[in-house]
């Protein structure tokens, strides 16, 4: 049951009014740094086998805060470009108010699986989802092989990428992914089993993390012997 902790980067000066995309040197502002310090403190007791990040600065800063603030500090943040932001092409760096007037805006809202962003560097949302989900699958296998099937790891990424991964975990068509939210410095948790993924948390911006700690070994063994299969949902919702 490999557990993925998806973290969106904290606030930057561009978050909200401008589509930053792959604009270089977009770093956390004072609000964002405060957000990620608080998130790192919340996640400090959760055992993490690895911390992985998009290569963009705002994610690296967020991931480094989580790694260095951990109860068992993690020396190295791994970088995987597949968790990088959607390549918005010619839309990059433009105000959202301006983009909302573009004909493509309605496609992105209502039929995102058909949306490809304009320009030589533009990417389709479907391609962005495919690369991100493929990265999750690869990291799940790597973490399980190196740290056991109950290990957890964190990935710091971007709003649309996180939403696309969650849509896949929920079995939703990409055209439904705009129904999902991922706020700055939010935590989304997905547990992957052989049978299905379980979305444990979504767009969480506060509260305890006790449910993310591994149970004692005797409880795990008892659950394997008496409870449902490792990919089964608890009928009635469970305790």
The per-residue pLDDT for 235 is 46
For residue 81, what pLDDT is reported?
A: 98
Q: Please give the pLDDT value at position 58.
A: 97
pLDDT for position 72? 81
**What 3 state SS string does the chain have?**
CEEEEEEECCCECCCCCECCCCCCCCCECHHHHHHHHHHHHHHCCCCCCCEEECCCHHHHHHHHHHHHCCCCCCCCCEECHHHCCCCCHHHCCCEHHHHCCCHHHHHHHHCHHHCECCCCCCCEHHHHHHHHHHHHHHHHHHHHHHHCCCCEEEEEECHHHHHHHHHHHHCCCHHHHHHCCCCCCCEEEEEECCCCEEEEEEEECCCCCHHHCCCCHHHHHHHHHHCCCCCCCCCCCCC
Per-residue confidence (pLDDT) for residue 207, from 0 to 100: 77
What integer pLDDT is reported at residue 1 of this predicted model?
83
Q: What is the mean pLDDT of each run of 10 residues along the chain (239 residues)?
A: 95 92 95 96 94 98 93 89 97 93 93 96 97 98 94 96 97 95 95 94 87 70 50 51
């Amino acid at each position: 049951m490999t557990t993925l902790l998806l973290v969106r980067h904290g606030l930057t000066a561009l978050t909200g009014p401008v589509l930053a995309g792959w604009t270089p040197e977009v770093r956390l502002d004072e609000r964002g740094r405060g957000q990620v310090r608080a998130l790192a403190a919340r996640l400090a007791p959760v055992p993490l086998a690895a911390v992985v990040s998009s290569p963009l600065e705002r994610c690296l800063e967020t991931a480094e805060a989580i790694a260095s603030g951990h109860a068992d500090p993690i020396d190295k943040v791994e970088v995987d470009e597949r968790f990088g932001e959607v390549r918005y092409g010619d839309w990059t760096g433009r105000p959202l108010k301006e983009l909302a007037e573009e004909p493509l805006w309605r496609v992105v809202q209502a039929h995102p699986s058909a949306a490809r962003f304009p320009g030589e560097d533009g990417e389709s949302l479907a391609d962005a989802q495919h690369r991100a989900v493929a990265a999750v699958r690869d990291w799940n296998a790597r973490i399980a092989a190196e740290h056991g099937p109950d290990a957890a790891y964190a990935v710091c990424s971007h709003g649309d990428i996180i939403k696309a991964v969650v849509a896949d975990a929920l079995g939703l068509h990409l055209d439904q992914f705009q129904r999902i939210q991922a706020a700055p410095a939010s935590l989304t948790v997905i547990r992957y089993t052989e049978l299905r993924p379980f979305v444990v948390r979504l767009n969480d911006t506060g509260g305890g993390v006790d449910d993310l700690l591994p149970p004692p070994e005797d409880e795990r063994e008892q659950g394997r012997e008496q409870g449902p299969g490792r990919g089964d949902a608890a009928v009635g919702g469970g305790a």
